Structure 1
Amino acid sequence: MRLDAVNAASGRFDDIIDVRAPLEYAEDHLPGAINLPVLNDEERAQVGTIYKQISPFDARKIGAALVAANVARHIAGPLKDRAGGWQPLVYCWRGGQRSGAMATILGQVGWRVARVEGGYKSWRAIVVRRVQELGFPSPVIVLDGNTGSAKTAILSRLAARGHQVIDLEGLANHRGSLFGARGAQPSQKAFEGRLAAALEGLDSNRPVLVEAESSRIGNLSVPRAVWQGICRGRRLTLNVPVTARAAYSARDYSDISHDPAEVQRILQRLAPLHPAARIEEWLRLADHGDWISLAEGLMRHHYDPRYDKHRARYDAQGAAPIWLDDLNDLDIAADKVEAALARPVTG
């Protein structure tokens, strides 16, 4: 059975199997897919070289032997406990020979196998259209606020209360600031795939809350249609004293205190943007572990001026202010955001 990518992604399968080589899978794959390659990276390169330099026939013959051996290992290994009623979905790059070989062998075992028509390539086309052209299917409400306003944490609480939320920083695995790295980020394609899946899951009759972001989150770009939706969205702005934001950031980014050398490297990268004396002061604060003072200095002289300049482009749309004295109880902060959401839009 062959399914188009839309039906494949929304279907009910026991496993989604990506039979492409590991490097292809690592760059991006269908949500929830496992990798059972019929050719590994080296074998795929070997077959490709034979195809170009010797003949297509020799490439297919050697490729068939490698594919058969690899599929046999998968059946005897990862798939050995699958029962007779197991129903997998299989795909490769274009829905061609690699997924065809896997589907044929699994089908001969007696399993009911489906293939993605057009393979990963067709899925990628759907993703690109969603994030680059269609964007949000729901009205967008943007939670704004200067660095350290606990926007991500407040949105998390609102999501737990049943509001529709898309956590762009979570999808990008980055907190969206100089010190925001949380380990390896996904590839741009993988980020867009995650985002497309989140967008498809929205109820178009209800608004969706997102955090105000720049057009880049770490090393990743926010896709065009999504970025445009954020720029046009109704805005709620958290207004929090800088001292409260600094204290919150020192707690929220406590992990960076375990890598002082990395903090020093990041601060040094700011040297072209600030006076030397200011950089030296920040380095001194980091060296002494005075994270609250460092956070406050960065907010006053680096983050806040840049936020204000960026935000000036959207002030004409009218942002509803939400005033918070501190960030000690984020449930109270979430209550205030909910109250702002309930107020009618004016103007």
Structure 2
Amino acid sequence: MNLAITALNKSRQWGSRTSCSIFINKVMSETAPISRKNHFDIRLPYCYDPFNHGQDEVIDVRTPNEYAEDHIPGSINLPVLTNDERHEVGKEYADNSFLARRIGASLISNNIATIIKTHFSDKPKTYSCLIYCWRGGQRSKSLSVVLNMIGYDVKFLSGGYKTYRKEVISLLSHIPSQFSYNIVSGMTGCGKTLLLDQLREAGEQVLDLEALAKHKGSVLGINCDDDDQPSTKMFESQLLHQFSTFDSSLPVWVEAEGRVIGNIHIPDSVFQHIQKNVANVYVIQAPLNARVKYLLSEYMYWTNNPTELKDKLGRLSKHNLPLKKWYKFIDESRFEDFVADILKIHYDPSYIRSRKKTFSSNSCDEILGLEDVTVKSLANVAQKLLVAADVGQVA
């Protein structure tokens, strides 16, 4: 240990990236026994539960691209290899694994030196962290051993991100079954999201699947490319995190959704548990002209970008819809006519078909009639739901 401290002090004095590499190699050679395969057996504290680690900070040392695809909620990204560096090492590994490891060690050492000088420059002696990479291999151990020898309380996640991912899948298979669900249904433009927003502001438990998926659930559901949606893995991580904030003794409010939101597929287990545990179904109804007015205010991006709107509508070409008529409406800036027509011909029939497959009408449905679709009108509806003595019987 004294040797490690001396080496660290020298690395600080020299202030070079090379010194950090020497320090890592020296510490590993002096403190870790060598296995018969000539690999270092680094003895560091393991953590097997990514959700109950008890550390101050969770550090993801994978590349920025890996982190962007999915990560443990609340973790920070301190990559020991950049996207390009990992590609370089991986490409070399196919031809010469020894040379690839040597290149990787050099790159990782340089990056760890920078990480120590920046992120850890003000961390107190009592600081603790959980570190993980893809599968609990060399990337996480490389940073872990350095921080451990400095004196920090360090653990690394056994199995890395793969352990976390397996846990997410496992938990999503049964945790949703612990809740009951109040379903908010209604045709496009009735203000279902507005109602959920009002209920959330009032302190109710709301599961907004469209917000998690970054999509409003239709071909015109976003103002940008579908690539801006989260990955399926990230969606599921956020979904599980949302469930972790809920109290199972209280109902969860959720919009009636299909199985697919844009490019995101709701996990079958989650979808099925919601269907099986419906407490109440509330159907919002509003006049067509009120829905048109609301949608035009909500989707101003499309009216300001008519060419992109027509391109988006092209995705519906296989559905035998009157696209030429809609294009004419758009070219003539007759957006009210366009919205009313696409609701009657496409969205409303789609909603009716979807309802039959998901939350079919039954005697428990409560109809919530609106004269207009505004925040004020939906706030009034939310208040009725909250003050009702028996949820499901709304005056």
TM-score, structure 2 normalization: 0.80
Helix, strand or coil at the partner of 2:178: coil
Q: CA deviation at 1:129?
A: 1.7
Partner SS state of residue 250, structure 2: coil
Q: Is the 2:283–2:367 Cα contact (8 Å) retained in structure 1?
A: yes
Of structures 1 and 2, the larger Rg is shown by 2
Change (3 A) 1:26 1:319: same
Does the residue aligned with 1:186 lie in a helix, a strand or coil? Answer: coil
The yes-or-no answer on 1:25 pairing with 2:61 is no
Corresponding residue SS for 1:90: strand
Aligned-pair CA distance for 1:11 = 4.5
1:207 to 218, 242, 251: 251
1:141-166 CA-to-partner distances (Å, cap 9, x unmatched) read: 11111101111121011011111111
Equivalent in the alignment of 1:144: 185
The one-letter amino acid paired with 2:84 is E
- Cα distance in 1, alignment partners of residues 115 and 389 from structure 2: 52
CA distance in structure 1 between the aligned counterparts of 2:372 and 2:52, rounded to whole angstroms: 43
What SS does structure 1 have at the residue aligned with 2:386?
A: helix
What is the Cα deviation at residue 316 of structure 1? 4.1
Q: Which secondary structure state, in structure 2, belongs to the residue aligned with residue 204 of structure 1?
A: coil
Matched, 1:90 2:131: yes
- The counterpart of 1:310, out of the listed 351, 354, 357, is 354
Q: Deviations over 1:51-85 (max 9, x none)?
A: 33224x43333322221111111122343343433
Aligned residue among 342, 365, 373 for 1:298: 342
Which residue, 166, 170, 173 being the options, matches 1:125?
166
Cα distance in 2 for residues equivalent to 1:204 and 1:13: 26
Partner of 2:265: 221
**Counterpart for residue 46 of structure 1:** 88
Counterpart CA distance in 1 for 2:267 and 2:114 is: 40
Equivalent residue number for residue 334 of structure 1: 382
2:76 corresponds in structure 1 to: 34
Deviates more, 1:36-45 or 1:170-179: 36-45
Go from structure 1 to structure 2 and tell me whether the alpha carbon gap of 1:103 and 1:138 turns closer, same or farther (over 3 Å shift).
Answer: same
Q: After superposition, where does 1:232-247 map in structure 2 within 5 Å? A: 232=276, 233=278, 234-247=280-293
Q: Taking structure 1 as reference, are residues 210 and 10 closer, same or farther at Cα in structure 2, changes over 3 Å only?
A: farther
1:338 offset after TM fit, Å? Answer: 3.2
In structure 2, what is the equivalent of residue 286 of structure 1? Answer: 330
Residue 188 of structure 1 pairs with residue 236 of structure 2:
no
How far, CA to CA, are the matches of 2:363 and 2:80 in structure 1?
Answer: 54
Q: What's 2:199 paired with? A: 158
Give the CA deviation at 1:21: 1.8
What amino acid is the match of 2:80?
A: V
Equivalence for 2:306: 260
Q: CA RMSD in A?
A: 2.3
What's 1:4 paired with? 48
